[in-house]
C-alpha cells in the first residue's frame, strides 16, 4: 500500500489557466473592426539582431476608434516595423509619417467576419486540446497511483476532481469563444 496519494490540482489548474491565457492573447490579436493596441502584440520586428515585440520598439496608441499609431523610437527601425505589419496577415496597410506609423482599421465585410469567427474557433479548439492534454496527464498520475496501490474509491474521487476541473475550463473556453464570435459579428 502506498501512502496517501495527493494529486497536485494546483499544478493542473495553473496549466489549464495557461491554456486559457494563451487563448485570450490569440483572441486579442483578431481584428474586430475596432482599433486595439493588443492586435499588434503577436507581431515581431527584427530589431537589433533578434525578434522584438512592436511595443518594445515604439509607443502604440489608439487615438481614435479606427486608427492605431506606432511612434517608433529608432528611425532606422521604421521600415522594419512597417514590413512586419504588412507581412503579419492583419490586412492593414500602414501609412508612414516620419517616425509615426499610422494603421487605419478598415470596416470588416461579412465574408471577412465569417473567416475571423472560423479562426477564433480554431484558436478555441487548440485551447481545448491543451486543456485535455493536462487532463490526460492528471489521469495518468492517478492510474500510476492506482497501480501503486491506491484504493478504487480514491481513484474515482481524484478522477472526478480532474474531470470537474476540465469541464469548468472547457466551459470557460466555450464562453470566451462565444463572446469573441459575437464581438466579431457585431457591426
Beta carbons within 8 Å of 121's beta carbon, 6+ residues apart: 177, 181
CA distance 10 to 60: 36
Question: What digits encode the pLDDT tens for the residues 54-103?
Answer: 889 999 998 888 889 999 999 999 999 999 888 877 778 899 988 899 98
Provide mean pLDDT across the span 33-54.
Answer: 83
Delimit the CATH 1.10.132.20 region(s) of the chain.
9-27+109-185
Q: Which of 33, 94, 44 is nearest to 69 (CA)?
A: 94
181 phi/psi in degrees, rounded to 5: -65, -40
Q: What is the CATH number of domain 34-104?
A: 3.30.1360.40
Question: What digits encode the pLDDT tens for the residues 140-185?
Answer: 999 999 898 889 999 999 999 999 999 999 999 999 999 999 888 8
Full-model pTM = 0.68
- Provide the 8-state DSSP code for 3: S
Instruction: Read off the pLDDT band of 31 (50, 70, 90).
Output: low
Say whether 65 sits in a helix, a strand or coil: coil
Query: Which superfamily is assigned to 9-27+109-185 in CATH?
Result: Ribosome-recycling factor (1.10.132.20)
Amino acid at each position: 500500500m502506498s501512502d496517501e496519494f495527493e494529486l497536485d490540482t494546483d499544478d493542473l489548474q495553473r496549466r489549464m489557466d495557461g491554456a486559457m491565457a494563451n487563448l485570450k492573447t490569440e483572441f486579442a490579436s483578431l481584428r474586430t473592426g475596432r482599433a486595439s493596441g493588443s492586435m499588434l502584440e503577436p507581431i515581431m520586428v527584427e530589431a537589433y539582431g533578434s525578434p522584438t515585440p512592436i511595443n518594445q520598439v515604439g509607443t502604440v496608441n489608439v487615438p481614435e476608434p479606427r486608427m492605431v499609431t506606432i511612434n517608433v523610437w529608432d528611425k532606422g527601425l521604421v521600415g522594419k516595423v512597417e514590413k512586419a505589419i504588412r507581412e503579419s496577415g492583419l490586412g492593414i496597410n500602414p501609412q508612414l509619417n516620419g517616425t509615426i506609423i499610422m494603421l487605419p482599421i478598415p470596416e470588416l465585410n461579412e465574408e471577412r467576419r465569417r473567416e475571423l469567427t472560423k479562426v477564433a474557433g480554431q484558436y478555441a479548439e487548440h485551447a481545448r486540446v491543451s486543456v485535455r492534454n493536462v487532463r490526460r496527464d492528471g489521469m495518468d498520475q492517478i492510474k500510476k497511483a492506482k497501480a501503486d496501490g491506491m484504493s478504487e474509491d480514491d481513484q474515482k474521487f481524484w478522477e472526478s476532481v480532474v474531470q470537474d476541473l476540465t469541464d469548468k475550463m472547457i466551459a470557460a473556453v466555450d464562453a470566451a469563444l462565444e463572446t469573441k464570435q459575437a464581438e466579431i459579428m457585431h457591426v
